[in-house]
A and B are shown apart, each in its own frame.
Chain A
Amino acid sequence: MEEKNVVKVGIADMNIVKVPDTIRTTGLGSCVGVVLYDETKKTAGLLHILLPDSSAGRQQIVNPAKYADTGVFALLEMLKQEGISPWRLKAKIAGGAQMFQLGPGDTMRIGPRNVESVKKELERLSIPLISEDTGGNNGRTIEFDPESCKLKIRTVNAGTTEI
């Protein structure tokens, strides 16, 4: 029996995994977890983005995994390095919650903006979005199994689901 490892992805980070291992990221709030996977090769990548748009950045060297508009492409490139054809890729996403109700003056809406930005990138790269669990006001921990291609989502107050 092969041993199963859980590959952990931190905040503003990404990684890839093959069967029988699974990949997970914890405590997504307004951040979005993006899974790109190839069903036939049973390989998946997971990205944990923090912000929608890298043009907001004022850094010289940018960590692409921090932003939706650079992260999805960077993960796709990482998968390509592993011999995965981009046209085989499908996506599942989770996160983008509104953790705090900051009143009517809250223009940040960072969670929904992260989700919008990820979707725009997926569309630009012609990666079909198969399912999503986004929005609301719950934190999420997610784990993807490239064998079943299911994304398990755990919350504190709203139970566990699978998409």
Chain B
Amino acid sequence: MSTSMHEEQQIRDLHLDVLREIGNIGAAHAATSLSSLMRKKIDMHVPDVKLVSFDEMMELAGGAEKVVAGVFLRIEGEVTGSMFFILPVEQANRFIRHLTNDATFDFQEPPFSELGISAMQELGNILSGSYLSALSDFTGLKIMPSVPSLSVDMAGSIISFGLMEISTVSDDVIVIETGIFDSAEGTEGVKGHFFLLPDPPSYRTIFQTLGVL
């Protein structure tokens, strides 16, 4: 009895390690892409894998009312799920000003310039693309991301969209979260977040593929 419970526990820990590793590999590649795009060193935190309620998920993104720039995409293929890259709006401004050489760009002052919008869109494309291609290389699974879509609004209104699929089967969500930050400015305050939310049936596929089921 105690042995089987112990084994079950071990399996769970191993599963968490696998999901953490997915966050690690994905975000490391994305941070490298961002680093070469911005020509500055970008670091990342150790990924966190958590089982959270929908409301706790909003808190992870900074609170339901926090204004953020959010890039969302759906993942289709052998693994399905939702992915977000979330930046606090002040940080999004800094990135876009740097990329476009337009010091006046401000996501808090609509209407936004076309150039700024497409730069943000492109930033989202590049980061989510490098995250997911690393994930695909690591697992050998076919992963087809949808075209990323951008919204600058309250975190709650953005994140809830990614909960739709999961919410039909559960009131909790497993989230693989990785924070990235500008290493020149230190670890204080994570500047951007990746959230990977695999649809529940995909866990089995991931664990099976990586030989930990």
Interface residues of A (CB under 8 A from B): 10-13, 26-31, 50-51, 56-59, 63, 66, 97, 99-103, 108, 110, 137-141, 156-157
Query: Which residues of the other chain, B, contact A29 by a CB distance below 8 angstroms?
Result: 153-154, 156-158, 160-161
Contact B154–A59 (Cβ < 8 Å): no
Q: How far is the CA of A141 from the CA of B159 in the complex (A)?
A: 14
Task: Return the contact of B154 from the options A11, A51, A110, A141 (Cβ within 8 A).
Answer: A141
Q: How far is the CA of A13 from the CA of B110 in the complex (A)?
A: 32
Inter-chain CB contacts under 8 Å: number: 104
Q: What residue of chain A has the Cβ atom nearest to residue B74's Cβ?
A: A102
Q: How far is the CA of A19 from the CA of B164 in the complex (A)?
A: 34
Q: How far is the CA of A28 from the CA of B74 in the complex (A)?
A: 20
Stretch at the interface among B43-51, B165-173, B175-183: B165-173
Q: How far is the CA of A140 from the CA of B146 in the complex (A)?
A: 26
Q: What residue of chain A has the Cβ atom nearest to residue B53's Cβ?
A: A10
What count of chain B residues pass the 8 Å CB interface test? 32
Contact B153–A139 (Cβ < 8 Å): yes
Q: How far is the CA of A27 from the CA of B147 in the complex (A)?
A: 24
Q: How far is the CA of A63 from the CA of B167 in the complex (A)?
A: 10
| Known A12-B171, A101-B149, A157-B110; contact A140-B164, beta-carbon cutoff 8 A | no
Distance between B83 CB and nearest chain A CB, rounded to angstroms = 12
Most buried by B among A10, A66, A137, A156: A156
| Known A99-B151, A141-B65, A157-B153; contact A57-B168, beta-carbon cutoff 8 A | yes
Query: Which residues of the other chain, A, contact B157 by a CB distance below 8 angstroms?
Result: 27-31, 97, 99, 138-140
Q: What residue of chain B has the Cβ atom nearest to residue A108's Cβ?
A: B164
Contact B158–A11 (Cβ < 8 Å): no
